[in-house]
Amino acid sequence: MRNPNRRHVLQLGAAGATALSFPHLALAQSGPLRIGLITPLSGPQEFIGTYVKNGAEIAVDQINKAGGILGRQVALEIRDDKANPAAALAAARELLGMGINLHVGGISSAVVLALAPVMAQEKGVHLTCGAGTEKMNHEAYSENMFRPGDSPDARGRAQARLMAEKYPDVTRWTGLIPDHEYGRTMWGIFVDGLLEFYPAIAKKKPEILDPILMPYGVSDYRNGITAALRVQAEGCFNATYGGDAITMFQQARGFGLMQRYKVVCDAANEFLVARGMKQQLPPQWTGMHYYAAANKGNAMSDRFVADYTAKTRDPEPLGWAAEAHAAIYALARAAEKGKSTETRSVIASLKGLTWDTVTGPRTMRAEDNQAVKDVELVFIEPASTDKGYQVGQYIKVDGKSVILPPSPGQKLKLRTA
């Protein structure tokens, strides 16, 4: 063995000093690749967070069985954000301090908007698994934040186009809108779509009536329901969400509110309300991040359903699980593309990335970190089955046909009545 020269000794010393000063870096390079998962696992949104957790865990298991990412096994570091911005910030800072720069989760609009500055400052990357705010790709754009799922403008405009196609005579529209970021976003986008697609498709001008602003996280919706009864609308767009939507719909039954409308279009509850109300469900169209039956024959989807069923005994995974699955795979493919898990490389590789998912190929727009994917819409109605509901129709809308052009750093421009 040759004697080390001075230069070699200095190199060894510098490497040792780096390992001592930043032990998490040395451990990260030799141990598993840790990815942070920040999602609500307690509180009112726990049920959605559980879907996110299950979907991410399935993706990690599949990737590890295939050899991992760049030859390293993957491990999730899971934190509960309670759908609360303060809790999410604390979790993100903890993970970043541990040297974990790749994060997924963030189903709340408020959480995602709060995370953007810290991810930029601390050089992390975050992929949301369902947050609906348009701001993250517009006036609050950050190159460190990505949405691998459908954008709110693609979803809401696809729903409006469907209404113009299937219900051309339903032209008087109102909304049941929670008075927060997500509710206002989705109502504004849906109205934009109505104003474009009714004249173009139905050859009629829609009449946009004032929406009813619903409180968030309360147990009594009777004031809002009473206000809605005074509005003479034919169509209703609902953006109340999860447990709030179930409570509101149940209380509305006693007033006959939903029966007054010729069509109800729900923003994004997927099967949550149907599972809660069963045969009491008002028939409605709803937006889905992912509907398994619409993706049969897609090998990745078929495997995902099989693995999800084995893990949870639920043969019908909802879209938040699919979005987490897609987010993990996006990180894996970006790391493979750039041959690195460092933040700058991952950001560069995510931009313009096309990768396979359970809904088919998606492409991440380089301009605004927004994926382009098909929008999946289903019509749910009550049924005398064990589930208490059934899907009467479903369609896929080409995402490229409804998504608005990228405009990072600028407020989304929408038509108004």
Among 79, 162, 136, CA closest to 407: 136
Which pLDDT does position 287 carry in this prediction? 97
- Rounded to 5 degrees, what are φ and ψ at 81? -100, -5
CATH number, domain of 205, equals: 3.40.50.2300
Q: Are residues 176 and 252 in the same domain?
A: yes
Question: For residue 186, is it within any domain?
Answer: yes
Q: How many domains is the chain built from?
A: 2
Which pLDDT does position 125 carry in this prediction? 98
Q: Are residues 379 and 252 in the same domain?
A: yes
The vertex-126 CA angle with 120 and 127, nearest 5°, equals 145
Which pLDDT does position 392 carry in this prediction? 97
The vertex-281 CA angle with 278 and 283, nearest 5°, equals 130
Question: For residue 16, is it within any domain?
Answer: no
Question: For residue 413, is it within any domain?
Answer: no
Q: Are residues 128 and 249 in the same domain?
A: no
Instruction: Give the contacts of 33 (CB within 8 A, at least 6 positions apart).
Output: 68, 69, 70, 72, 73, 74, 75, 102, 341
Question: For residue 344, is it within any domain?
Answer: yes
Q: Are residues 189 and 254 in the same domain?
A: yes
Q: Are residues 285 and 180 in the same domain?
A: yes
The vertex-332 CA angle with 329 and 333, nearest 5°, equals 90
Question: For residue 70, is it within any domain?
Answer: yes
150 exposed, middle or buried (CB, 10 Å; 0-12, 13-18, 19+)? buried
| DSSP bridge pairs for 39 | 80
Q: Are residues 237 and 272 in the same domain?
A: yes
Q: How far is CA 186 from CA 83, 103, 134, 291, in A?
A: 19, 26, 9, 20
Q: Are residues 387 and 248 in the same domain?
A: yes
| DSSP bridge pairs for 102 | 125
Q: Are residues 232 and 381 in the same domain?
A: yes
| Pairing status of strand 371-372 against strand 362-364 | antiparallel
Q: Are residues 212 and 326 in the same domain?
A: no
Q: Are residues 253 and 397 in the same domain?
A: yes
Q: Are residues 165 and 242 in the same domain?
A: yes
Among 239, 277, 344, 327, CA closest to 63: 327
- Rounded to 5 degrees, what are φ and ψ at 192? -55, -45
Which pLDDT does position 59 carry in this prediction? 98
Which pLDDT does position 266 carry in this prediction? 98
Question: For residue 318, is it within any domain?
Answer: yes
Which pLDDT does position 256 carry in this prediction? 97
Question: For residue 43, is it within any domain?
Answer: yes
| DSSP bridge pairs for 75 | 34
Question: For residue 158, is it within any domain?
Answer: yes
| DSSP bridge pairs for 35 | 76
The vertex-298 CA angle with 294 and 303, nearest 5°, equals 105
- Rounded to 5 degrees, what are φ and ψ at 298? -80, 115
For 339, the domain range is 33-151+294-372
Which pLDDT does position 48 carry in this prediction? 92
Per-residue pLDDT of the chain (417 residues; tens, 9 = 90+): 344 444 343 343 444 443 443 444 434 456 999 999 999 999 888 989 999 999 999 999 999 999 999 999 999 999 999 999 999 999 999 999 999 999 999 999 999 999 999 999 999 999 999 999 999 999 999 999 999 999 999 999 999 999 999 999 999 999 999 988 889 989 999 999 999 999 999 999 999 999 999 998 899 999 999 999 999 999 999 999 888 999 999 999 999 999 999 999 999 999 999 999 999 999 999 999 999 999 999 999 999 999 999 999 999 999 999 999 999 999 999 999 999 999 999 999 999 999 999 999 999 999 999 999 999 999 999 999 999 999 999 999 999 999 999 999 999 999 999
Q: Are residues 281 and 162 in the same domain?
A: yes
How far is it, in rounded angstroms, from Cα 289 to Cα 301?
A: 13
- Rounded to 5 degrees, what are φ and ψ at 351? -65, 120
> E-assigned strands of 118-262?
125-128, 145-146, 172-178, 207-208, 212-214, 235-238
- Cα Rg of the chain (Å, integer): 23
What are 7's two structure tokens?
Answer: 């230069």
Which pLDDT does position 29 carry in this prediction? 56
Instruction: Give the contacts of 49 (CB within 8 A, at least 6 positions apart).
Output: 39, 40, 41, 80, 83, 105, 107
